[in-house]
Chains A and B, each alone.
Chain A
Amino acid sequence: MITNRTVRQLTLIVVGILATFSIGGGIIALLAHNWDDFPKVVRIILSFIPAILGIATFLYSESKYRDSLTWAECSSVFLALMIGSTIGLVAQVYNMGGSFEDFLFVWLVMILPIIYLGNSSATAIFYIGLSLTWLYLTYLNSFRFFFGFGSGAGNDVLWFWILFLGVVPHLRYHLQPGRISFRGVTLGWSVAIALCMAAFIGFSGHRLINSTLLITLVYYIGKEYFGNGNSAWQRPFQSISILSIFLMTLIYSGHGLLRFTLERDGYIQSYYGAFDREWQGEGIPATPYFYYFNLVLLFAMAFGAGYFFWREKERNSDYNKAILVFPGMILLAILLQLFEFETTTRILINLYLLFMAWWYLREGWRMRLGWLVFFAALVFSTTMIGRYFDMDIPFWIKGMMYLGLGAGLLWFNKIYSEEKA
C-alpha cells in the first residue's frame, strides 16, 4: 500500500521535476547554440554560469527548504543538469574531442555525489537512465564498421556495472524488504528496467550465462523487496524479470541465435571462422584483465541469486516454476548446443516457452488475474506464430502439431469452464 505520500505531495514532486528538466533542458539548448561572436574569455565565463546557478539553487534549497522533498529533488536534478551543461560548454569552447558517450561518462561520475548530497531519487533515476544510454551508445559504437571490425567497445560495456554500483547505497537506503512506497516502486521500476535491458548487452564474455543469472537474480531480489506488492505495478522486479525471460527465450528459440551467442563467447567454433579467435570469441581484448570482470560478475550474480532464492524458500514454498526451471533450461540448452544437438536444443527452448504459457495461464486463472492470462496468451501466440514460419519440418507434421496444440487449449477451456468461477 502506498501510504507515505499524499497525492498532493506526489503531484508537487512530479510536476516540479518535470519543470526542472524542462528549464534545465532549455538552458542547455540556449548555450549549446554556441555564442561564438563573444571572445573566448566571455564564453568560458558563460560556461560556468549553469554550474554556479545549479549550486546556488541547491544551497538556497538547503538553507530555506531543508525539509521540503520537492525542493530537495528538484534542486538536485537541476544541479545535475547544470553541471553537465558546464562541462559540455567548456568542451565546446576548447573543441575537445571524444564521443558523446565519453562526455556522458564524465557527466555520470559528476552526478553520483549529487544523488547522495540531495538524497534525491529523481537524480538517481536520471543517473540510471543516463548510464543505460551510455551503455547502449557504447555497445552500438562497436558496430560502426562491418563485421569483425570496429568491435572495439568490447570490455568497455563492463563499466556500466561499476557505474551501477555507485547508486546501490541509495537503493539500499530507500528499498526496504516488505515496505512498499511510491519512491521505492518508482526506483524499483527504473532499476529493474535498466538491469534487464543491460542483461542483453552489458557483458563482453559468458553473455548467455551472465544474462540468465542477472534476470533470475532480478526476480529473486524482487521477491525479497517487493514480495508483498498487491499488483504487477507494485512488483517491478518480478514483472520486468518475467517479461525479460520471455523475450530472451523467444530470441533464442529462433534458428541459429543461441549458437551465434555461444560462438561470440568462444564456446563454439564458428562455421565461417569469423569468431574463430582464441579464448574469448573476439580475440584478446584491448583490456585483457578487465575481461575477467565478466567472471566476477558471474560468480557474484550466481551467489546473489542463490542467496535470495534460499531466503524466498524459507518464507514460501509456493514457487514460480517458470522461473525456477529457467536457469536449468538455459544450462541444458547450452550443453546440448555444445554437442551440436541443434534441433534438440530448439525443441527444448520451445517446450519451455509452451510450459511458460501454460504456467501463467494456470496461475492467471487460479489467482483470477486477467493480465496474467493475457501474458500467457502473448507467450503462446508469439511462439506459435514464430514457429509456424521458421520451422523447417514437413507440412503434415506441422499441421498435426498445431491441431494437437489447438485441441489441448480447447481441453483447458473445457476443464476450467466446469470449475466454479
Chain B
Amino acid sequence: MNRKFILLIVLGLLLAVPIGMVIRNEMLLADEGSIYKFTLQPIDPSDPVRGKYIILRYNTMIELDEPIQLQNGEPIYVEVKKDENGWAYFSNVSTTPPDHSAYFKTTVNYGYERTVNINVPFDKYFLNENLAPLAESSYAELTRHGEEFYAEVSITNGEALLRGVYYMNRPLIDHLREMQVDQ
C-alpha cells in the first residue's frame, strides 16, 4: 500500500477518536429523558493534562436486597431511581445489564456482605484553575443546605455523562464567578 494512503488513514483515525468522543457525548446530552439529579460534596485536585477539577462525592454505598459475591474492581451495572422529591440515588447493582435503560456501567470499589461501594464514572467536574480552589474553599457554604448543591447527570443504557453542577438551581460556575468578583 502507498505510504501516503497509510499516513492519511492513520492520521484520520487519530482525529476520529476525539471526534467520536464529541459525537457520543452530544448524543447522550441530547437525550432529555436520561437526566438525573444527585446531591454532592466537592474536593479539589488537579490533572496534568486535563487541568483543575473538583471531585464530586456521591452517596456510593448501596445496600443490596440479596448478597452478591463481588470482587474489588469487578465490572457491574448500577441501577438509578428517583425518590419522591425527584432526587436520584443508586438503587441496586447487578453483574448483567438490567431490562430497562436507567443504569450505567462501572466497577466495584469494595464490597462486603450486602453492602457495595461503587466507583462513579461522573465524579469529575473540570473548572477554570482560578475557580476550582474557590469551589473547595466554599465547601461549607455549598453543602450547608444539602439538596441545594447537586449534579445533573445523563444516564441511559450503561452510559453516563455529567451535564453540569448546580448550586441553588444556578450553574455552580456562575455562583463561583460572583464569589470571585466579591473577593
Q: Which residues of A contact B53 (CB under 8 A)?
A: 92, 95
Report whether A35 and B124 are in contact in the complex, using a CB–CB cutoff of 8 Å: no
CB pair A90–B22 under 8 Å, yes or no, is: yes
Interchain residue pairs with CB less than 8 A apart (30):
A28-B49, A32-B51, A32-B52, A33-B128, A36-B173, A48-B15, A59-B7, A83-B14, A84-B49, A88-B50, A89-B50, A91-B21, A91-B50, A97-B124, A97-B162, A98-B121, A100-B48, A103-B49, A103-B50, A113-B10, A113-B14, A145-B110, A152-B72, A152-B108, A153-B73, A154-B71, A154-B72, A286-B73, A286-B75, A286-B107
Contacts of A52 in B (CB 8 A): 15
Q: Are A34 and B51 in contact (CB under 8 A)?
A: yes
Please report the C-alpha to C-alpha distance between residue A85 and residue B18 in the assembled complex, in whole angstroms.
10
Residues of B within 8 A of A37 (CB): 128
Number of interface residues of A (CB under 8 A): 53
| Contact between chains at B108 and A286 (CB < 8 Å) | yes
B interface with A by C-beta (< 8 Å): 6-7, 10-11, 13-15, 17-18, 21-22, 25, 47-53, 71-75, 107-110, 120-129, 131, 160-162, 173
Query: How many residue-residue contacts, CB under 8 A, span A and B?
Result: 139
On whether the beta carbons of A34 and B127 are closer than 8 Å, the reply is yes
* Bound: A52/B15 CA distance, A: 8
The chain B residue sitting closest to A54, CB to CB, is B14
B136 → chain A, closest Cβ, in Å? Answer: 15
- B18 in contact with A87 (CB, 8 Å): yes
With A33-B51, A110-B17 already in contact, 8 other A-B pairs whose C-beta atoms are closer than 8 Å = A32-B49, A32-B51, A48-B15, A52-B15, A59-B11, A95-B126, A96-B161, A114-B10
- Bound together, the chains give a CA A51 to CA B75 distance in angstroms of 32
Identify which of A32, A150, A153, A285 contacts B48 (C-beta below 8 A): A32
Among all A-B residue pairs, the 6 with the closest Cβ atoms:
A152-B73, A152-B72, A32-B51, A286-B74, A88-B49, A95-B162
Closest A residue to B123 by beta carbon equals: A97
Asked if B72 and A92 make an inter-chain contact with CB atoms under 8 angstroms apart, the answer reads no
> Which one of A34, A88, A152 contacts B128 once the chains associate, using CB atoms below 8 Å?
A34
- Tell me the nearest residue of chain B to A31, going by C-beta: B51
Q: Once bound together, how far apart are the Cα atoms of A214 and B81, in whole Å?
A: 50
Q: Are A152 and B129 in touch, CB under 8 angstroms?
A: no
Q: Considering the complex, give the chain A residue whose CB is closest to the CB of B4.
A: A62
The one of A96, A114, A117 that contacts B21, using a Cβ cutoff of 8 Å? A96
Chain B interface, >50% SS class: mixed
As a 0/1 sequence over residues 61 to 105 of chain A, the CB contacts with chain B under 8 angstroms (1 = contact) are 010000000000000000100011111111111111110100100
* Chain A residues with CB below 8 A from B18, complex form: 47-48, 51, 86-87, 90
Decide: B15 and A55 in contact? CB cutoff 8 A.
Answer: yes
Known: A97-B122, A149-B72. A34 touches B129 (CB 8 A): yes
Chain B residues with CB under 8 A of A97:
120-124, 160, 162
Among B47, B71, B129, contact of A33 (Cβ-Cβ < 8 Å): B129
Q: Is A352 an interface residue (CB 8 A)?
A: no
**A132 smallest CB distance to B (angstroms):** 16
Name the distance in Å between A251's Cβ and chain B's nearest Cβ. Answer: 26
> Separation in Å of the B164 CB from the closest CB of chain A?
8
B-chain residues with CB within 8 Å of residue A106 when the two chains form the complex: 17
B11 touches A58 (CB 8 A): yes
Instruction: Give the shortest distance, in Å, between A100 (CB) and chain B (any CB).
Output: 6
Interface assignment of A156: CB less than 8 Å from any CB of chain B: yes
